Structure 1
Amino acid sequence: MKISSVMVVLLLVQAMILVSVDAQGTWQIINKNAGIATMHAAVTHFDTVILLDRTNTGATQINLPNGRCRDQPLERVLKKDCTAHSVMLTASSGAVRPLFVFTDTWCSSGQFFDTGMMVQTGGDFEGNKKIRTLAPCAPGGTCDWTELAEPLAAGRWYSSNQLLQSGTRQIIVGGRAAANYEFYPKRKAGEGTFPLALLGGCCDNLYPFVFLLPNGDLFIFTTRDSVALNWGTGKVTRKYPTIPGNPRNYPSAGSAVMLPLSFANGFATAEILVCGGAATGASGSNNVNAPASKSCGRIVATAGAPGWAMEDMPIGRTMGDMLNMPNGEVLIINGAQNGFQGWGKANNPAFNPVSYNPGAGAGKRFTTLAKTGIARMYHSTANLLSDGRVIIAGSNTHQFYTFTGAFPTELRVEAFSPPYLGANFNAVRPTITGAPGALKYNLVFTMTFTVTTRVGGVGVYQNSAPYSTHSYSQGQRSLLLKTTAPVKVGAGYSMQVTAAPNNNIAPPAYYILFCVQNGIPSRGKWVKQNN
């Protein structure tokens, strides 16, 4: 792998604020029965969590309030359904409140707008062209789903959404029988879809991985190939080399992240990490016992002559979720070690999460973490919370809710506390005592914090709140911001932080700011990035 001088700087900066730890993290069940099996999840800026399943499962285990029922003549399983298929969970307590969703959200997609409103698109059957919105509220609120009359231009089942630079428009990419993309809202009346050849073909090309690059183009990956798309002109601006090894998208179900964009290179370097997936041909031959891939590929999408650098994870994994963590690391969690996505198509759960340190040398990047006792297989989710934990929900390997057999429908919700939340590191953990609630581009602002030990190795990360489904977190991004050296002020410290430079780097939205000391993040602070 050829590494530019700019990449060397980035890796050194990341390595400076990371520290190796021996602890493996801890697990906690925060809700023993959320009422639904979670297929989609997103954390709101109120620290509540939107959980969604499909609607054609029959009755769930949580009733709609006040005797309300869903009377849906197009429903193929239960036309009068008085149970909820979506809930709002309070992260601090695990309490849930039922939400009302009318059309089928099976294998749909979503993303937040800059206002914090969730836009949720597509699904199956009567939900195939639907657009739904939810303006989130604080715990105790009454916010709920709204179904819009305006349809999508094409049916979207297994598609991916990406927030664009305005913060008020999303691109919706691909889906079953949809080798194209469209926008919501439309850029002009009557606008339809736009073809993209990359999305064609028969297999392993659903839920494409989509990332907004620093130059404003979109990196779009499906199966084993990827392109950069200028979404404004509709032109493919470059084609990337094919990643070695197995296919990576649904139903093979690898996962992907864009590694943190960093001030150290002017936020100009974007590097994509793609890991895991089913063995080549497993889904086509229905080989539920095929060993999942250990393979990870890493490519600098902004390089002049990019190529994939390959290495192996310690655990083969399909259906894993990959998360940008508050300290620049990547967490790989959930999934199975054999098979592929689908009802009853996988086994041998991957109980142990793995962390990936992008700033470490080859062969030293992976650490195996503490295992859970709950299988998180098909239809599981993972989302970062502002307190630094990861909330894990879902797993239903059956067409309906089935509570027998090897992998029963899973209604429990867990929180994983990474090693940085261990008791041994509390003295190193900073506490943010001051930062603005809203940011403008290039704003230099003051962050104050306290820490009980001598300060050192401090950095600030800004992480988005993505939409997690089917092993891919749509809209996920992380930024390492420029900071000055902290200075002692009273009982704490103060430093100057420079916000992201433009909306290619940080589209307007709600983000979580973390102050990180020697790899240990503070509790995050929600901030609104404005245009």
Structure 2
Amino acid sequence: MDSVLSKWLLLFFFFFFTITLTTTTKLARAQLPGTWELVVENAGIASMHTAVTRFNTVILLDRTNIGPSRKMLPKGHCRFDRNDAVLKRDCYAHSVVLDLQTKLIRPLMILTDTWCSSGQFLPDGTLLQTGGDLDGLRKIRKFEPCERDGHCNWVELDDVELKDGRWYATNQILPDGSVIIVGGRATNTVEYYPPRKNGAVALPFLADVEDSQMDNLYPYVHLLPNGHLFIFANNKAVLYDHEANKVVKNYPPLDGGPRNYPSAGSSAMLALDGDYSTAVIVVCGGAQYGAFIERSTDTPAHGSCGRIVATGPDPVWEMEDMAFGRIMGDMVMLPTGEVLIINGAQAGTQGFEMGSNPCLYPLLYRPDQPVGLRFMTLTPGTVPRMYHSTANLLPDGRVLIAGSNPHVLYRFNAEFPTELRIEAFSPEYLSADRANIRPVIEGIPETVRYGDVFEVSLSVTLPVVGIVEMNFGSAPFATHSFSQGQRLVKLAVKSAVPDGDGRYKVGCTAPPNGMVAPPGYYMAFAVNQGVPSVARWVQLVAK
């Protein structure tokens, strides 16, 4: 009898603890910060490249030789390419524009292949798009955004082309508003748009770090506030003087192996503030060396991060670890100066069918915390975002998540199917309990010049406590785990002055020059106690 009773007691406690553990785990997941929402069920294409325009629309791009998408071009509009192995007559869209307000999708016509191309917004708000594969290798394209009821479309330039073919290259806008185009597969040079007389200029650094698995592709390029470029490829970085076309400093190698395509880490430059003399670069995650060569899908990714003061006299990497190993993660600068790390996988490498174990948990990187306390785990998503996924900051403070097509063509009957859904992740600062301290920008100049002192009027439900920040965030071109041209600049501000009825005026000083903030359109955020407003678009121009 005692034996039977003991067995029943054991079974009771087993089920009790199992239920308790399961409930606790679910509760813990539910209590993690941040929320997810479905924005669009079917975007028509799986976005490999994504950019947000000043009209609050989103440009999404795939490659042209990928077969039928799930969005037709307007009747009578087709692309003809006798070299296309899948469709010689292609009447499907491979680029679309999403209206964030109406959530409507409009197909765009693009003629040449944008597979693994690069991009950057010009000072007038036009998206410059360069390179790709096959007939797109030397191509230059432009998209001039328009209001939601407009009919703007891609224009492919016929009178000018890239000097060198650019497949897996990186673009970065410069202080004068021109764009440098760095690297590419079998292309260890840089060139510029508008084109310069010297054409393409050799950058031996890219050749020096090239290896058998091409870890120098999609180099991480950041414009520092001293006007030089921080260029990172494989596991090394240089300080590059783009005016003199020479390397002026070699940084120490970053431990942990290669980080660029196809090893699939990510990088961001932290917010610029104060006197703008200091720039800090962070590089996180990556695949184990050899995973790409061996086509290993189950080799664990690593989760190490390096952080370096790129403008320091003797810079060294400070190392720390994320909560998860991650490849193909996207690092998004939030309006607060924190960094969201999202998307990707925990094993394998970049490439078709080469990643596994999706990393569904976003991380929040808090730069001002000490080592060991910087990473916070956030609410997990449910949609695997593998190869060819993107993440972009929206003017309302959410982060738009698109893409994932780890296949040569569109495939929906796979373990990780081609993903046409578009989601948005809302950081904790958008939670309902913070709505009373969320500022609203009531008035701000549409155009400011370098060094201008200007005033911003805003309203807040609860009284302002402390300093209200004004931060300028760029609109980068997101692709392959790196946001080209991403930047956040914190303006010098004066204390908010009450203006009656919950309104305040904040005195601001614009960035001093194009080295701190290149000319162009920025999302201007007011940030009150860590909660950002909906941004207003401001054009920053030279005097």
TM superposition score normalised by structure 1: 0.94
Residue of structure 2 in register with 1:257 after alignment: 268
- Alpha-carbon distance in structure 2 between the residues aligned to 1:63 and 1:507: 37
Give yes or no for the alignment of 1:208 onto 2:208. no
Structure 1 unpaired stretches of 5+: 1-21
* 3-state SS, counterpart of residue 237 of structure 2: strand
1:327-366 matched pairs, under 5 angstroms: 327-366=336-375
**Offset at residue 187 of structure 1 (A):** 2.2
Letter matched to residue 471 of structure 2: Y
Residue of structure 1 in register with 2:161 after alignment: 151
Letter matched to residue 331 of structure 2: M
The alignment yields a C-alpha RMSD, in angstroms, of 1.0
**Offset at residue 405 of structure 1 (A):** 1.6
Give yes or no for the alignment of 1:92 onto 2:101. yes
**Offset at residue 467 of structure 1 (A):** 0.1
* 3-state SS, counterpart of residue 491 of structure 2: strand
**Offset at residue 74 of structure 1 (A):** 3.1
- Alpha-carbon distance in structure 2 between the residues aligned to 1:175 and 1:27: 35
- Alpha-carbon distance in structure 2 between the residues aligned to 1:475 and 1:460: 20
1:275-290 matched pairs, under 5 angstroms: 275-290=284-299
**Offset at residue 77 of structure 1 (A):** 2.1
User: Per chain length, whose mean CA-contact separation is higher, i.e. which structure has more relative contact order (CA < 8 Å, sep 6+)?
Assistant: 1
Residue of structure 1 in register with 2:243 after alignment: 232
Residue of structure 2 in register with 1:7 after alignment: none
Residue of structure 1 in register with 2:522 after alignment: 511
1:3-152 matched pairs, under 5 angstroms: 24-149=33-158, 150-152=160-162
Give yes or no for the alignment of 1:466 onto 2:496. no
Residue of structure 1 in register with 2:411 after alignment: 402
Letter matched to residue 58 of structure 2: V
1:213-224 matched pairs, under 5 angstroms: 213-224=224-235
Residue of structure 1 in register with 2:202 after alignment: 195
Residue of structure 2 in register with 1:4 after alignment: none
Letter matched to residue 165 of structure 1: P
- Alpha-carbon distance in structure 1 between the residues aligned to 2:168 and 2:236: 18
Letter matched to residue 41 of structure 1: T
Give yes or no for the alignment of 1:501 onto 2:512. yes
- 2:44·2:420 contact (CA, 8 Å) conserved in 1? yes
Residue of structure 2 in register with 1:160 after alignment: 170
Give yes or no for the alignment of 1:392 onto 2:375. no
- Alpha-carbon distance in structure 2 between the residues aligned to 1:301 and 1:193: 26
1:367-386 matched pairs, under 5 angstroms: 367-386=376-395
- Alpha-carbon distance in structure 1 between the residues aligned to 2:61 and 2:284: 25
* 3-state SS, counterpart of residue 293 of structure 2: helix
- Alpha-carbon distance in structure 2 between the residues aligned to 1:112 and 1:97: 20
Letter matched to residue 463 of structure 1: G
Residue of structure 1 in register with 2:21 after alignment: none
Residue of structure 2 in register with 1:314 after alignment: 323
- Alpha-carbon distance in structure 1 between the residues aligned to 2:299 and 2:204: 30
- 1:30·1:93 contact (CA, 8 Å) conserved in 2? no
- Alpha-carbon distance in structure 2 between the residues aligned to 1:370 and 1:460: 28
1:411-426 matched pairs, under 5 angstroms: 411-426=420-435
- Alpha-carbon distance in structure 2 between the residues aligned to 1:174 and 1:261: 26
Give yes or no for the alignment of 1:488 onto 2:488. no
- 1:113·1:119 contact (CA, 8 Å) conserved in 2? yes
Give yes or no for the alignment of 1:273 onto 2:282. yes
The alignment-based identity, stated in percent, is 52
**Offset at residue 454 of structure 1 (A):** 2.1
Letter matched to residue 287 of structure 2: A
- 2:32·2:377 contact (CA, 8 Å) conserved in 1? no
Q: What are the superposed Cα offsets for residues 256-306 of structure 1, whole Å, 9 maximum, x if unpaired? A: 0000010x2x10001100000112322223221111111000000000000
Residue of structure 2 in register with 1:5 after alignment: none
Q: Measured at CA, do residues 339 and 205 of structure 1 come closer, stay the same or move farther in structure 2, by a change above 3 Å? A: same
1:301 to 307, 310, 321: 310
Give yes or no for the alignment of 1:242 onto 2:242. no
Residue of structure 2 in register with 1:11 after alignment: none
- Alpha-carbon distance in structure 2 between the residues aligned to 1:308 and 1:456: 36
**Offset at residue 23 of structure 1 (A):** 5.3
- 1:39·1:470 contact (CA, 8 Å) conserved in 2? yes
- Alpha-carbon distance in structure 2 between the residues aligned to 1:61 and 1:451: 44
Larger radius of gyration: 2
Q: How many residues align?
A: 505
**Offset at residue 205 of structure 1 (A):** 1.1
Letter matched to residue 154 of structure 2: W
